[in-house]
Amino acid sequence: MIAEKMKPLMANNSAVRQMFEEGNRLRAQYGKENVFDFSIGNPDAPVPDEINQAIKDIVDETPVMELHGYMSNAGYEDVRETIAQNINKLHGTEFNAGNILMTVGAASALNVALKTILDPGEEVVIFAPYFLEYNWYVKNYDGVVVPCQTDENFMPNMERLAECITEKTRAVLINTPHNPTGVIYPEEIIEGIAKVLEEKQKEYNRTIFLISDEPYRELAYDGIEVPYVTKYYNNTFVVYSYSKSLSLPGERIGYLVVPPDMEDSEFVFETATAVNRISGAVNAPSIQQKLVAKCIDSKVNLEYYDRNRKTLYNGLKECGFECVMPQGAFYLFVKSPVDDAAEFCAAAKKYNILMVNGASFMAPGYVRLAYCVSHETIENSMPAFKKLAEEYGF
Amino acid sequence: MIAEKMKPLMANNSAVRQMFEEGNRLRAQYGKENVFDFSIGNPDAPVPDEINQAIKDIVDETPVMELHGYMSNAGYEDVRETIAQNINKLHGTEFNAGNILMTVGAASALNVALKTILDPGEEVVIFAPYFLEYNWYVKNYDGVVVPCQTDENFMPNMERLAECITEKTRAVLINTPHNPTGVIYPEEIIEGIAKVLEEKQKEYNRTIFLISDEPYRELAYDGIEVPYVTKYYNNTFVVYSYSKSLSLPGERIGYLVVPPDMEDSEFVFETATAVNRISGAVNAPSIQQKLVAKCIDSKVNLEYYDRNRKTLYNGLKECGFECVMPQGAFYLFVKSPVDDAAEFCAAAKKYNILMVNGASFMAPGYVRLAYCVSHETIENSMPAFKKLAEEYGF
């Protein structure tokens, strides 16, 4: 009944559903408070207080046909200008409304960018481990994902990047702060990637885009800077979402940046806008556009996740587990004490701890813990982690 | 810079933009009130009064993390159940939440349905004239559009439909009430289509879907019934939008119906839900979902468009133009008095009348007038139409 092309999607889908159902089964059996579910990356820091009032103000202040009616497929001009000026203020860029395409969240922005540039058979290099949903996004346009293994510390390796780029490469996709590892690429890494791409563009005499997926940009701890990638490489798309920065994942609002320094910037922007239309989104939802502009300086309380990060990291280290302190996002990547991380996940489940096998991110031998949960859950999980550690003789 | 595959999109796009810019040029030169722009199908009947209050109530009543957070990719269960029960009440169907997939408007629902079922090279039969954006939706999944010419009265011809269906046909797409002609398919037409499809399914021993695109369902005049298509043919997807029924086109909210009688209904629904996720939408925007459920019985004032319909139709007939009284939607399809409708459009522009060449809908020799404009615009345009008619000796 369904397209042959979609059959692999459904095979994968049932694995995700099984894990979700397993969580529900455990909660029903042991009680919600006795299950430590670190499997789902669902933002749970409180929505900033001003958001709901802003929605009501927008409804009161905006002429009704303007609020709910069609606008340019790229979004409201004033919203886009507000966002552009805010990025300029924070990052010293020189954007205007013509560089900001409002989208139905980051996933949509990423799809729009890929459809705009990708012809069948062209390659997209992605640093592994990575969020496997990227595979689907690239396949949507018959592109080919080329995974590029990072170093032990999960940072890109420039020699391997150079090897991964061929005459078929159309884009390199980065994600920083990073899901699932929590690393943030420092300036020298971004400079290194830019250098390789500049060289490869010359070598193959063709445009290679850098796509920077930044839904976790605002979740950077200890004051660490997240470099603004367009300043290092002209042909960069930035993909942004308010799902994490404002805890609004259900509202589906984000944007795609087509910077002025990109080759043929205006034409690429116009194409991406048309792609946004024909792909079905047409435009980003209108109330949400007005909302993010009105709340341009709002952020969720970073402390909410930071406290979880520290408690979970310190707790696991004390138990004897091996992990790297995450610098951003809300994931802790933990080395499995046995080669087969599936075995480790199964052992954890005995103590009602749910985590995701790193194989789901092209990182066998690791597990991902999403610490976007209540602080209580983390504290309550510690005895369970201790018992789990004892199984491995820690 | 952009994908080869997207280049034809941009050629087409610049034609649409030219027309839009021409409208702006005329408005700047002659004043807004002296330009009669019938070129854009942008719903302008007032948003029902209760909509804005409902948004504020939703914000006040809904727990904040539920309102803005992730839900199932198919949408909120309670919203989907409310919509299902409403359809059941109106049309005698037996749907539940498991048959309703909330989407980012009808364009997104249509794309989700097509991606769910279409493999490269498979054919989608569409009755001509038709909304040409369908071409892009089908091309998004490397499908092939097979136009099927309707009769003089723009009703499907069953013999020609049977001829258009081959062993490669995956779907037939209908749109009723219809853009651009304003016709509504009566029950016997739907029965006729169902009969042909049943026969062809047997002949080719494969599933052929009927996709019913119904954004104009609520805009049916003179009490004309719009048959509910799933009752006539099991393998029917219904595509619905609130853009016209509530004048909310900017909010991007609609749904896809996967009826319980469709073969493998549950699996198709599950696949469509996964497709909704990987295509970038992830889920329909959350406030808008809650909104359409809360305002389930709301409708724009049909009288707003009906008055325009009658004034424009009667006025043009009096001038001597040939057109069919539209039964639904907000378009009047007018026969060009000369073979080349482009010439007719150019002549109209001399009197500041903007209309769309029927060639843009695979209907050469016709023009489309969108009467979703103020009633004043229609009244004020009449002297201009009279002068235009005189050019043709009416």
For A16-38, what is the mean pLDDT? 88
pLDDT band at B1 (very low <50, low <70, confident <90, very high): confident
Q: What is the ipTM of this complex?
A: 0.96
B92 CA to centre of own chain: 23
CB B331 within 8 A of CB B368: yes
Which residues does chain B have within 8 Å of residue A300's beta carbon, measured at their own beta carbons? Answer: none
CA geometry: angle at A143 spanning A141 and A147, to 5°? 135
pLDDT at residue A268 tops 90 = yes
pLDDT at residue B139 tops 80 = yes
**Which residue of chain A is at minimal alpha-carbon distance from B135?**
A278
Q: Tens digit of pLDDT for each residue in A208-238?
A: 999 999 999 999 999 999 999 999 999 999 9
A271 CA to centre of own chain: 24
Interface of B with A in 121-150 (CB under 8 A): 133, 136-137, 140-141
Q: Tens digit of pLDDT for each residue in A104-119?
A: 999 999 999 999 999 9
pLDDT band at B20 (very low <50, low <70, confident <90, very high): confident
How do strand A209-213 and strand A236-241 relate by DSSP bridges?
parallel
Q: What backbone torsions phi and psi does residue A55 show, to the nearest 5 degrees? A: -60, -45
Q: Tens digit of pLDDT for each residue in A324-375?
A: 999 999 999 999 999 999 999 999 999 999 999 999 999 999 999 999 999 9
Q: Tens digit of pLDDT for each residue in A156-193?
A: 999 999 999 999 999 999 999 999 999 999 999 999 99
**Which residue of chain A is at minimal alpha-carbon distance from B134?**
A278
pLDDT at residue A120 tops 90 = yes
A67 vs A232: CA distance, rounded Å: 37
Q: Closest Cα to residue A104, out of B217, B195, B141, B284?
A: B284
Residues 6 or more apart whose CB falls under 8 angstroms from that of B97 comprise B77, B78, B80, B81, B84
Q: What backbone torsions phi and psi does residue A223 show, to the nearest 5 degrees? A: 70, 15
In one-letter notation, the amino acid at residue B302 is L
Q: Closest Cα to residue A200, out of A238, A233, A156, A227?
A: A233
User: Are A105 and B282 inside 8 Å of each other by CB?
Assistant: yes
Q: Which residues pair with B183 in a beta bridge?
A: none
B164 vs B14: CA distance, rounded Å: 31
Residue of A4, A117, A283 lying closest to B250 (CB–CB)? A283
Which residues does chain A have within 8 Å of residue B105's beta carbon, measured at their own beta carbons? Answer: 280-282
User: Are A69 and B247 inside 8 Å of each other by CB?
Assistant: yes
A108 vs B103: CA distance, rounded Å: 13
Q: Tens digit of pLDDT for each residue in B225-236?
A: 999 999 999 999
| pLDDT number for residue B315 | 98
**Which residue of chain B is at minimal alpha-carbon distance from A271?**
B10
List the end-to-end C-alpha distance of chain A, in Å, as a whole number: 51
B64 vs B11: CA distance, rounded Å: 45
Interface of A with B in 48-87 (CB under 8 A): 51-52, 55-56, 59-60, 64-65, 67-71
A70 CA to centre of own chain: 29
User: Which one of B252, B253, B304, B372 makes the best mutation probe of the A interface by having the most chain A beta carbons within 10 Å?
Assistant: B252
Percentage with pLDDT > 90 across chain A: 93
Can you list the pairs that B158-163 forms with residues at least 24 positions away whose Cβ atoms lie under 8 Å? B158/B192, B158/B193, B158/B195, B158/B196, B161/B125, B161/B127, B161/B192, B161/B193, B161/B196, B162/B196, B162/B199, B162/B200
B67 vs B76: CA distance, rounded Å: 10
B354 token code pair: 């903007």
Instruction: Indicate the average pLDDT of chain A.
Output: 96
| pLDDT number for residue B56 | 98
For B309-314, what is the mean pLDDT? 98
In one-letter notation, the amino acid at residue A216 is Y
- The CA radius of gyration of chain A, in Å to the nearest whole number, is 21
Length of chain A: 394
pLDDT at residue A277 tops 80 = yes
| pLDDT number for residue B75 | 97
CB B175 within 8 A of CB B130: yes
In one-letter notation, the amino acid at residue B40 is I
Q: What backbone torsions phi and psi does residue B192 show, to the nearest 5 degrees? A: -65, -45
| pLDDT number for residue A384 | 98
A362 CA to centre of own chain: 16
pLDDT band at B11 (very low <50, low <70, confident <90, very high): confident
How do strand B169-175 and strand A356-357 relate by DSSP bridges?
unpaired
| pLDDT number for residue A13 | 79
**Which residue of chain A is at minimal alpha-carbon distance from B109?**
A280
pLDDT at residue B111 tops 80 = yes
For A198-212, what is the mean pLDDT? 98
CB B329 within 8 A of CB B216: yes
CA geometry: angle at A209 spanning A204 and A212, to 5°? 150
User: Which one of B44, B49, B68 makes the best mutation probe of the A interface by having the most chain A beta carbons within 10 Å?
Assistant: B68
Which residues does chain A have within 8 Å of residue B262's beta carbon, measured at their own beta carbons? Answer: 1
CB A196 within 8 A of CB A160: no
pLDDT at residue B61 tops 80 = yes
For B110-134, what is the mean pLDDT? 97
B283 vs A281: CA distance, rounded Å: 11
pTM value is: 0.97
| pLDDT number for residue B22 | 86
A13's enclosing H/E stretch is helix A7-30
A11 interface with B at CB cutoff 8 Å: no
Interface of B with A in 105-124 (CB under 8 A): 105, 107-112, 115-120
B57 vs A94: CA distance, rounded Å: 40
pLDDT at residue B24 tops 90 = no
pLDDT at residue A12 tops 80 = no
pLDDT band at A265 (very low <50, low <70, confident <90, very high): very high
Match 């994931």 to its residue by tokens: A331
| pLDDT number for residue B13 | 79
User: Which one of A6, A244, A277 makes the best mutation probe of the B interface by having the most chain B beta carbons within 10 Å?
Assistant: A6
B98 CA to centre of own chain: 24
| Residue A65: other Cβ atoms inside 10 A | 16
Interface of B with A in 326-355 (CB under 8 A): none
SS (H, E, C) chain B: CCCHHHHHHHHHHHHHHHHHHHHHHHHHHHCHHHCEECCCCCCCCCCCCHHHHHHHHHHHHCCHHHHHCCCCCCCCHHHHHHHHHHHHHHHCCCCCHHHEEEECHHHHHHHHHHHHHCCCCCEEEEEECCCCHHHHHHHCCCCEEEEEECCCCCCCCHHHHHHHCCCCEEEEEEECCCCCCCCCCCHHHHHHHHHHHHHHHHHHCCCCEEEEECCCCCCECCCCCCCCHHHCCCCEEEEEECCCCCCCHHHCCEEEECCCCCCCHHHHHHHHHHHHHHCCCCCCCHHHHHHHHHCCCCCCCHHHHHHHHHHHHHHHHHHCCEECCCCECCEEEEECCCCCHHHHHHHHHCCCEECEEHHHHCCCCEEEEECCCCHHHHHHHHHHHHHHHHHCCC
Interface of A with B in 156-195 (CB under 8 A): none
Q: What share of chain A is helix, strand, coil (3-state, %, to 5)?
A: 45, 15, 40
Q: Closest Cα to residue B171, out of B110, B129, B225, B217?
A: B110
A201 vs B177: CA distance, rounded Å: 51
| pLDDT number for residue A22 | 86
User: Are A250 and B59 inside 8 Å of each other by CB?
Assistant: no
| Residue A119: other Cβ atoms inside 10 A | 15
CB A172 within 8 A of CB A125: yes
pLDDT at residue A20 tops 90 = no
Match 């021993």 to its residue by tokens: B205
Please, what sign has the CA dihedral across residues B223, B224, B227, B228?
negative
A350's enclosing H/E stretch is none
For B170-178, what is the mean pLDDT? 98
pLDDT at residue A15 tops 90 = no
pLDDT at residue B207 tops 80 = yes
For A117-142, what is the mean pLDDT? 97
Residues 6 or more apart whose CB falls under 8 angstroms from that of A390 comprise none
